[in-house]
Amino acid sequence: MPRIIVCLKQAIDVSQLKADANGRLITAGVSRKISDFDKNALEEAVRLKEALDGEVVTVTASVEDAKTTIREALAMGGDKGYFINDEALQNSDTLAISFVLAEAIKKIGQFDLILCGEASIDGFSAQVGPRLAELLNIPVITYGRKICLEGSVLTVERILEDRYETVKASTPAIVTVTKEINEPRIPSLMAIMKASKKEIVTWRLTDLGVSPGKVGEAGSGIRILDVKAPKVERRRVLIEGETPNEIAEKLVKSLIQEGVVGR
């Protein structure tokens, strides 16, 4: 009966982002959602739970209200959600967030497996999983695309740049998962209704005994100076023609003129 913790980030829906007139990105008011790969992590946890008769809890740290997001995770099959919500989390980097999550996980208690996303869709730093492993002093397996849990033996297939690696570790352990590990389910109406009765435990930092110096700017190792939309400066020349051959001829001519094909 494994107990699985899923680190579930409430991320900015990056497809909704816009920049202001100066190219600065506007993040206020942009809709939030479960970070993409975390949905895969959750789905995998729920599948393991269904196969092995276990329990799945989620943990989320956020300055903003994340209850709707957590509720969605519970509809997908999570049993209970833990939500660390505190204004002091503002401007926390991965150093601070990992610390807070580790403290929350210690308070949640015994577990066999922690699943994280390969990276979060907004920050994409791929740090929180490995950092948690260090803080909790347990093994970590990154970029997992297949997980097998037998008793306390964990076997994971990793996907790297040029190879697949199958590795074994003993639990408790952390795995960060890739998008390909599964296809996350869409919860049924029934599941959504059931989820409204499941428990979301909300903690403030004082509940975890985390001092203000450990979070926010003071608890972070990096300082953001500027966030700007990248400039796109493309020529956008439309190659027109009556036939594919005519188009191809024009394109090839242009590329040769640019000096990028031929000599």
Partner 1 sequence: MKEYVSVWVYSENNNLMLELISCGRSLSDTLKIELTAVLIGDEAEGKADKLVKYGADKVFMINHPTLKESPDEICLATLTDLIATHKPEILLIGSTKNGKELASRIAARLETGCIQDCSYLTINGEGQLITKRVVYSGNAVVTATFSRSPHIATVPLRTFEKLEPTERKGNIMKLEAKAVKPRLDVVSVSKMEVTDVKVEEARIVICGGRGIDSKEDFKPLKELAQILEGQVSNTRPLAEDRKWFSGWVGLSGKKIKPTVYIGCGISGMIQHVAGMRDSKIVVAINKDPEAAIFEFADYMVVGDLYEIVPAIVKELKKALD
Ligand X SMILES: Nc1ncnc2c1ncn2[C@@H]1O[C@H](COP(=O)(O)O)[C@@H](O)[C@H]1O
Contact of residue 105 among ligand FAD, ligand X, partner 1, none (CB under 5-8 Å per partner type): none
At a CB cut-off of 8 Å and minimum separation 6, what does 56 contact? 4, 5, 6, 42, 45, 46, 49, 77, 78, 79
> Considering the rule CB under 8 A, would residue 62 count as an interface residue with partner 1?
no
Q: Tell the smallest beta-carbon distance from residue 139 to ligand FAD (Å).
A: 25
- CB nearer ligand FAD, residue 179 or residue 185: 179
- CB nearer partner 1, residue 192 or residue 229: 229
- CB nearer ligand X, residue 25 or residue 194: 25
Contact of residue 187 among ligand X, ligand FAD, partner 1, none (CB under 5-8 Å per partner type): none
Cα separation of 124 and 99, whole Å? 18
Contact of residue 93 among partner 1, ligand FAD, ligand X, none (CB under 5-8 Å per partner type): partner 1
Q: Are strands 113-117 and 173-177 parallel, antiparallel or unpaired?
A: parallel
b/e per residue, 176-191, with b = 16+ CB within 10 A?
bbbeebbebeebeeee
Q: Tell the smallest beta-carbon distance from residue 121 to partner 1 (Å).
A: 6
- CB nearer partner 1, residue 177 or residue 200: 177
Cα separation of 181 and 47, whole Å? 11
Q: Which of residues 180-199 bind partner 1 (CB under 8 A)?
A: 180
Cα separation of 27 and 221, whole Å? 22
Q: Which of residues 120-179 bind partner 1 (CB under 8 A)?
A: 121-127, 129-131, 133-135, 139-143, 155, 160-169, 178-179
Q: Tell the smallest beta-carbon distance from residue 195 to partner 1 (Å).
A: 28
3-class SS at 112? coil
> Considering the rule CB under 6 A, would residue 12 count as an interface residue with ligand FAD?
no
Lay out the site mask for ligand FAD across 100-129 (x = CB under 6 A, - = otherwise). Answer: ---------------------x--------
Among 31, 223, 242, 257, binds partner 1 (CB under 8 A): 223
* Distance between first and last Cα of the chain: 66
Cα separation of 50 and 27, whole Å? 37
Cα separation of 59 and 127, whole Å? 16
Among 93, 147, 208, 216, binds partner 1 (CB under 8 A): 93
b/e per residue, 119-150, with b = 16+ CB within 10 A?
bbbbbeebbbbbbbbeebebbbbbbbbbbebe
Contact of residue 251 among ligand X, partner 1, ligand FAD, none (CB under 5-8 Å per partner type): partner 1
Question: Is the CB of residue 2 less than 8 Å from the CB of residue 52?
Answer: yes
245-247-252 Cα angle (round to 5): 95
Binding residues for ligand FAD (CB under 6 A) = 36-37, 121, 179
